[in-house]
Amino acid sequence: MKNARFMETFGLTDDLCENTTRMTVCGKRELYLENYKAILEYSEDEIVVQMNRGKLGILGNDLKISYYSPTIMKIFGELHCIEYR
């Protein structure tokens, strides 16, 4: 109950409090990830990221990680497919 009040007071969603991965796709060329664990594979055609629960595969052409920090990543390129593994 206290956790629910805290979340409501500060406008937090369940995904932020549970540290789940959040993904935002902007068109066909940009993808933002928040709360990921690790980069497992990285090539021009595929990027695989470890999440708290499973893996995320990003497939496309000329993929690049244009920015990353321990919690946020920006992927740029021609996005074709995003799949949970």
Q: Is 19 left (phi over 0), alpha (psi -120 to 50) or beta?
A: left
* Helices marked H in the chain: 2-10, 14-17
Handedness of CA 18, 21, 25, 26 (dihedral sign): positive
CATH among 1.10.10.60, 2.60.40.2000, 3.30.530.20, 3.30.70.1150 for 20-84? 2.60.40.2000
Domain map of the chain by residue range? 20-84
User: Per residue in 23-66, pLDDT tens?
Assistant: 999 999 999 999 999 999 999 999 999 998 899 999 999 999 99
Q: What is the pLDDT of residue 21?
A: 86
